[in-house]
Every structure is written in structure tokens, then in C-alpha cells.
């Protein structure tokens, strides 16, 4: 049986908002049948209310005053799909303070103000749901928050930026240089005219902070995340990775470290060499995936569309139904009280590494190069040599080593007169 409608106030009606309004309209009967809930859109705030948006909503419900939507006593749940920090931050705070559940897709807002907003929602006993903020349509937030709430999670690794995954896929599969692959992503609408947020890992770092917060119950913001993008990845790196049966992916990694007393974590975004037989290696084009490792559960992987109006709207609608149901039952989806995080700097984290070094091709060089690794406690797992006339290219894969020791090794190699250049360094993940 349908109860009284739950009135929804929308902040934004762009790619995601418009797709959500269409989906609510299409799914209205199915949602009512399956959940007993009737969702009714009560107001929609946009910048330009006069524009025809081709959505199934009375044009009289549009306003250019988002604060009036939040303050409207007729609105039960607020959906924030306007993006950016201001005024979204102020509006979300206002809604939570008024005791209204909030559904948002805004990773930027959560990565900078998440801990404050989670605490506010927790204190007010209202929902703050944000499934669409990480990996678009993939329901990873609810999994971390509910299904895996009792799981001792050890690591969460995600391909959470479709633009960079598309670029890296094109570079590997079509042997395209980086610039050409980026231009194609822009032509197809996968990359913005200014691609900085995607290619420099800023978008992925925001998502890494949110994933780390939920996976480990700690307060993490984007400033805590070590970040490297993909703009320096060359066709040669991709080719060498392929020769070694690896591919290169931009990974967002949040991991638990069993040191010290408190919750000690590492959280980083960087390109990584991933073995071709790892499940994440099969995630191509603009798709996203999140790989979760836990002590009890073992390995899990979730795969799907990370962006696009309709897939993202599906995740928002799932949250909206959850929030509406909780409101009717007078309870909230708990995040819990997040603890302060001890975030380990990248220098102290461990990884295996891929290194490319160009050296003079003469006797004795190899042993001097190998000695530098040994001097810094970095042990070599494999080495390949390629002749280049009077020079040779050495490709090393190391065993797991501390980043600080690896960096010292790079410096040591740079100081050897037989070393012509120290080329690419990539972390190897998932072996």
C-alpha cells in the first residue's frame, strides 16, 4: 500500500538531475509496488528556470532560489545534484540542520567537507547518502557502509575515473600516444576541454578519500591522499608493461596498515602496473571497477559505468528510495562516528616497483647497478636487458620495498657515471 508521498526537492537539473526526473517518472509505479513509497517532486532549483529542459515536471516547480527549496516545509528529502562546493555546502548543511535527509552525487563536496557533513548527519539522525559520488552507478558506498560493515577490510582498489581509463585503454589497444588518446576522449565527450581534474588524478583522489572514510571508518579528506596522474605515461611505458604481461591503470588505493594503535591507513592515487591476469586489468574503456580485499570475505569486485546521466541517476534514485523509506520508518542509514585517521605518508608505504634505467653497455656495470639496489634494501625480482648499441636498457621489477628506499635507490643510480638516465618508475600492484 502506498503511504503519503515523500516530497523531493531537487538542487540542480543538469545531466544527472534531468535523468533522475525522467527515471523517477518512469519507475514511479514499480517503486510504489516494490517499496510502498510514492516519490513526488516538489521543487527544482536551477540557474535558469526559464529554459525548457524536456523533463516530466510541471515548469511551475522550477526556481532559481535553491535556499527556498531547502527551507520549504513541504519538502521532505533534498537531492543535491548541482555540483561544486558553494553554494552546495551551505545548502546541504542547512538541509541536515533542518532534519531533512540529503542525497548527493557531489564527490568534490564530500572529499573536502565529508567528515563535517557525516558528523552533522549522524548528530541530527538523518540520512546523508552519496552512492553516485564514487564510481557512478556501482553501488559501492552501500556495500562498504552496510554489507561489509562487519568485514575487516584490508584494501580497496578502484579504477574510479573513466576518462583516464579510456585514455590508457586507447594507448594500450591502439598504440596511440597520450596526446592523441586524450584528444579522442575529448572528442567523444569523455574528457573536459580542461582535463586537469581527470588526468592529474584530482577526481580520483576525491573518490579515494570517500572510499577510505567508509572502508575504514576514519576521517579522510582529499588533502590526505597522495596523488600522481597519468600525463607523464608514455607509449614506451605501455609497451614495456605489455611485454611484461602487465597493463597500466590509474588506481585509487585505500589500505589498512597494521602498525601502531589507532586506525593507520595509506591512501593514494597513481598509475600502476597491474598483471594482465588481475581482474582490474580487464576493466577497459570508460568503465569503472572497485576491488575489495577483506580478511573474512577474501576478494570482491564490482564493475560498471562510472558516469553518464542515466547510470548516475540510477544510483541517486536508489539512495532516494532508501532515504524516503528510512524517513517513513523514522530511522537513518548510519555512517557511525568516524575516528581520526593516521594517514601514512607515501614514503613509508610498500610496493613492488618497475624501473627503467639506461646504462653504458660495458663489463661491470650491471653489478654496480645491482649493488645500489642492495645498498638501499631493495631486492630485485626480475631484470631484462635490451641492447641499444653502446648503451643498454635495463628493466627491473623489484620485490615489495619501502618507497623511501626506492627513492634513495633512484638517487643512487642517478649518481653512477655508467647510468645514462633513470627513466620511468611505476608501482606494481596486484601481483
Judged by CB under 6 A, the stretch of 77-85, 262-270, 320-328, 391-399 that binds ligand NAP is 77-85
| End-to-end Cα spacing for the chain | 52
Q: Which of 100, 107, 207, 249 is catalytic?
A: 207
The CA distance from 117 to 372, in Å, is 49
Which range touches ligand NAP (CB under 6 A), out of 69-77, 149-157, 228-236, 308-316?
A: 308-316
Q: CA-CA distance, 254 to 111, in Å (whole number)?
A: 14
Report the sign of the C-alpha dihedral through residues 400, 404, 405, 407, in that order.
positive
Residue 23: its H or E element: helix 15-35
Min dist. Cβ of residue 53 to ligand NAP (A): 7
207: contact with ligand NAP by CB under 6 A = no
79 vs 241 by CB, closer to ligand NAP: 79
Give the three cell numbers for residue 193: 576541454
Stretch that binds ligand NAP, among 227-235, 301-309, 335-343, 365-373 (CB under 6 A): 301-309
Degrees to nearest 5, angle at CA 118 with 122 and 290: 125
Q: Smallest distance, Å, CB 94 to ligand NAP? A: 14
Nearest CA to 75 out of 86, 89, 65 is that of 65
**Residue 137 or 274 having the CB closest to ligand NAP:** 137
CB of 49 or CB of 275, closer to ligand NAP: 49
Among 101, 308, 318, 412, binds ligand NAP (CB under 6 A): 308
82 binds ligand NAP (CB under 6 A): yes
Shortest distance in whole angstroms from residue 6 CB to ligand NAP? 21
> 312, 322, 398, 409: which one contacts ligand NAP (CB under 6 A)?
312
Residue 345 in 3-state DSSP? coil
Site string (33-62) toward ligand NAP, x via CB under 6 A: ------------xxxx--------------
Q: Which of 6, 8, 9, 16 binds ligand NAP (CB under 6 A)?
A: 16
Q: Does 106 interact with ligand NAP (rule: CB under 6 A)?
A: yes
Tell me, yes or no, if 249 is annotated catalytic. Answer: no
Neighbours of 83 (CB within 10 A): 18
C-alpha–C-alpha distance, residues 8 and 6, integer Å: 6
What is d(CA 202, CA 115) in angstroms, rounded to the nearest whole number? Answer: 19
Toward ligand NAP, which CB reaches closer, 18 or 273?
Answer: 18
Considering only the stretches 78-86, 212-220, 225-233, 283-291, report the one whose residues sit in contact with ligand NAP under the rule CB under 6 A.
Answer: 78-86
87 lines the binding site for ligand NAP (CB under 6 A) = yes
Cα–Cα distance for residue pair 10/18, rounded to 1 Å: 10
Stretch that binds ligand NAP, among 188-196, 238-246, 282-290, 303-311 (CB under 6 A): 303-311
Asked whether 288 and 190 are in contact (CB, 8 A), the reply is no
Q: How far is the CB of 237 from ligand NAP (least distance, A)?
A: 29
| 15 touches ligand NAP by CB under 6 A | yes
Determine what percent of the chain falls in helix, strand and coil, rounding each to the nearest 5.
Answer: 40, 30, 30
- 378-414 burial, b at 16+ Cβ within 10 Å, e below that, comes to bebeebeeeeeeeebbbbbbbeebbbbbbebbbebbe
Nearer to ligand NAP, 83 or 217 (CB): 83
Q: How far apart are CA 309 and CA 255, in angstroms?
A: 31
Q: Are 52 and 18 in contact (CB under 8 A)?
A: no
Is residue 290 part of the contact set for ligand NAP (CB under 6 A)?
Answer: no
318 near ligand NAP, judged by CB under 6 A: no
Site string for ligand NAP, 348-387 (x = CB under 6 A): ----------------------------------------
Joined together, the cell numbers standing for residue 167 give 585514455
Minimum Å gap between C-beta 164 and ligand NAP is 15
Among 17, 42, 115, 217, binds ligand NAP (CB under 6 A): 17
How far apart (Å, rounded) are the C-alpha atoms in residues 414 and 402?
19
**In contact, 279 and 292? CB cutoff 8 Å:** no
* Residue positions annotated with a catalytic role: 207
Interface residues with ligand NAP (CB under 6 A) are 12-17, 45-48, 66, 81-83, 87, 105-107, 132, 136, 307-309, 312
Amino acid at each position: 500500500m502506498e503511504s503519503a508521498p515523500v516530497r523531493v526537492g531537487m538542487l540542480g537539473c543538469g545531466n544527472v538531475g534531468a535523468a533522475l526526473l525522467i527515471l523517477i517518472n518512469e519507475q514511479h509505479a514499480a517503486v510504489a509496488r516494490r517499496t510502498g513509497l510514492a516519490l513526488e517532486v516538489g521543487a527544482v532549483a536551477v540557474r535558469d528556470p526559464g529554459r525548457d529542459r524536456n523533463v516530466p515536471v510541471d515548469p511551475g516547480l522550477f526556481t532559481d532560489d535553491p535556499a527556498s527549496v531547502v527551507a520549504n516545509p513541504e519538502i521532505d528529502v533534498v537531492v543535491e545534484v548541482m555540483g561544486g562546493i558553494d553554494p552546495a555546502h551551505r545548502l546541504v548543511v542547512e538541509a541536515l540542520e533542518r532534519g531533512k535527509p540529503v542525497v548527493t552525487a557531489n564527490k568534490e563536496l564530500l572529499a573536502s567537507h565529508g567528515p563535517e557533513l557525516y558528523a552533522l548527519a549522524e548528530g541530527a539522525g538523518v540520512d546523508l547518502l552519496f552512492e553516485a559520488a564514487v564510481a557512478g552507478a556501482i553501488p559501492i558506498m552501500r556495500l562498504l557502509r552496510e554489507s561489509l560493515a562487519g568485514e575487516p577490510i584490508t584494501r580497496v582498489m578502484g579504477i574510479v575515473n573513466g576518462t583516464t581509463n579510456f585514455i590508457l585503454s586507447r594507448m594500450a589497444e591502439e598504440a596511440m600516444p597520450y596526446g592523441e588518446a586524450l584528444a579522442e576522449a575529448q572528442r567523444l565527450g569523455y574528457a573536459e576541454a580542461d582535463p586537469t581534474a581527470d588526468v592529474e588524478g584530482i577526481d580520483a583522489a576525491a573518490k579515494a578519500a570517500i572510499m577510505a572514510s567508509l572502508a575504514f571508518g576514519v576521517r579522510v579528506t582529499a588533502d590526505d591522499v597522495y596523488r600522481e596522474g597519468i600525463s607523464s605515461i608514455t607509449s614506451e611505458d605501455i609497451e614495456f608493461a605489455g611485454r611484461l604481461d602487465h597493463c597500466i591503470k590509474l588506481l585509487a588505493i585505500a589500505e589498512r596498515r597494521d602498525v601502531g594503535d589507532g586506525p593507520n591507513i595509506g591512501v593514494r592515487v597513481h598509475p600502476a602496473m597491474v598483471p594482465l591476469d588481475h581482474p582490474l586489468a580487464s576493466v577497459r574503456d570508460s568503465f569503472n571497477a572497485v576491488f575489495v580485499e577483506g580478511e573474512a570475505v577474501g576478494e570482491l569486485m564490482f564493475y560498471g559505468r562510472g558516469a553518464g546521466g542515466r547510470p548516475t541517476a540510477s544510483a541517486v534514485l536508489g539512495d532516494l528510495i532508501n532515504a524516503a523509506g528510512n524517513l517513513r520508518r523514522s530511522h537513518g542509514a548510519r555512517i557511525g562516528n568516524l575516528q581520526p585517521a593516521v594517514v601514512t605518508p607515501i614514503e613509508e608505504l610498500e610496493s613492488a616497483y618497475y624501473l627503467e634505467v639506461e646504462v653504458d653497455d660495458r663489463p661491470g656495470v650491471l653489478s654496480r647497478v645491482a649493488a645500489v639496489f642492495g645498498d638501499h634494501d631493495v631486492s630485485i625480482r626480475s631484470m631484462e636487458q635490451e641492447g641499444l648499441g653502446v648503451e643498454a636498457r635495463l628493466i627491473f621489477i623489484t620485490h615489495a620495498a619501502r618507497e623511501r628506499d626506492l627513492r634513495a635507490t633512484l638517487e643512487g643510480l642517478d649518481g653512477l657515471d655508467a647510468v645514462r638516465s633513470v627513466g620511468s618508475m611505476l608501482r606494481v600492484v596486484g601481483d
